Amino acid sequence: MRKTIVAGNWKMNKTPKEALELIETLKPLVAGRDDVEVVFCPPFIDLMLAVEATKGTNIKIGAQNMYFEESGAYTGEVAPNMVKEAGCEYVILGHSERRAYFGETDETVNKKVLKAFEHELKPIICVGETLEQREQGITEDLVRMQTKIALKDVPAEQAVLAVIAYEPVWAIGTGKTATSVQAEEVCAAIRKVLCEIYDEETASKIRIQYGGSVNAGNAAELFAMPNIDGGLVGGASLKADFAKIVNF
């Protein structure tokens, strides 16, 4: 049985003070849902206080990115052991915004995934097509390739700890959600490729989230699909509404 995982990707929002306010608002609202894993992914600057503020609660903390080197002359980057020591359990890797604006490629995502596991961080690996790619009919090819490259050299016993987030780029921050049927179709294709890389048992253990304009109104239908094990939530994770998604 895969445990549903609902993660809030705060993106570049919330100062430390604002982060604490949001955490205090959400804490009681998401409490007591033992069947759902709840993860907040605030900006780096908020991570340590978010870990502190969520101690003893059901909320886990994740980073939105990290670098694949251990330390050194990489101005502006954050190393995996820093993310780990800050108290993070998860790290989002390969988000489409990082791919589009910061030159992230399938290869750098793979390097980061391997590093994350080395430091016992669980990666939330983002894959997904643009509108142009969907219209061209290459959605599944692309997502298969992104998934395969991201997991290159990752053994099955680590892969089961990873989360794959299927996030169609055209649905991110646009208010245009994929229909549950569209989302399920691609998530099922991802499950199939996981089965090809590993085996059926491994593939059946890996959680696949849908992301892209998830909100309190559409979460229940999306999460009810057989291959969708929760959501990666952007805009709606910054409001009390996030609790409604967790309590879908």
* Residues recognised as catalytic: 95, 167
Among positions 30, 109, 151, 172, the unique one binding ligand PGA when judged by CB under 6 A: 172
Least Å from the CB of residue 209 to ligand PGA: 9
Least Å from the CB of residue 213 to ligand PGA: 4
The amino acid at residue 158 is Q
The amino acid at residue 50 is A
**217 touches ligand PGA by CB under 6 A:** no
**127 touches ligand PGA by CB under 6 A:** no
Cβ–Cβ contacts within 10 Å for residue 63, how many?
A: 25
In the bound state, the residue with its beta carbon closest to ligand PGA is: 234
**42 touches ligand PGA by CB under 6 A:** no
> Which runs of consecutive H residues, i.e. helices, occur in the chain?
16-30, 47-53, 80-85, 96-101, 106-118, 131-135, 139-150, 156-159, 180-197, 200-205, 219-223, 241-246
**168 touches ligand PGA by CB under 6 A:** no
**232 touches ligand PGA by CB under 6 A:** yes
Among positions 5, 6, 9, 23, the unique one binding ligand PGA when judged by CB under 6 A: 9
CA dihedral 61, 64, 67, 73 (to 10 degrees): -90
Rounded-to-integer distance, Cα 101 and Cα 47, Å: 22
**213 touches ligand PGA by CB under 6 A:** yes
Least Å from the CB of residue 104 to ligand PGA: 14
Least Å from the CB of residue 120 to ligand PGA: 23
> What letter would DSSP give residue 45?
G
Among positions 211, 228, 243, 246, the unique one binding ligand PGA when judged by CB under 6 A: 211
> Which residue lies nearer to ligand PGA by CB, 193 or 219?
219
The amino acid at residue 209 is Q
Q: Which of 120, 92, 85 is nearest to 8 (CA)?
A: 92
Q: What do you get for the CA distance between the two ends of the chain, in Å? A: 18
Rounded-to-integer distance, Cα 169 and Cα 97, Å: 9
Summarize as ranges the residues that interact with ligand PGA (CB under 6 A). 9, 167, 172-173, 211-214, 232-236
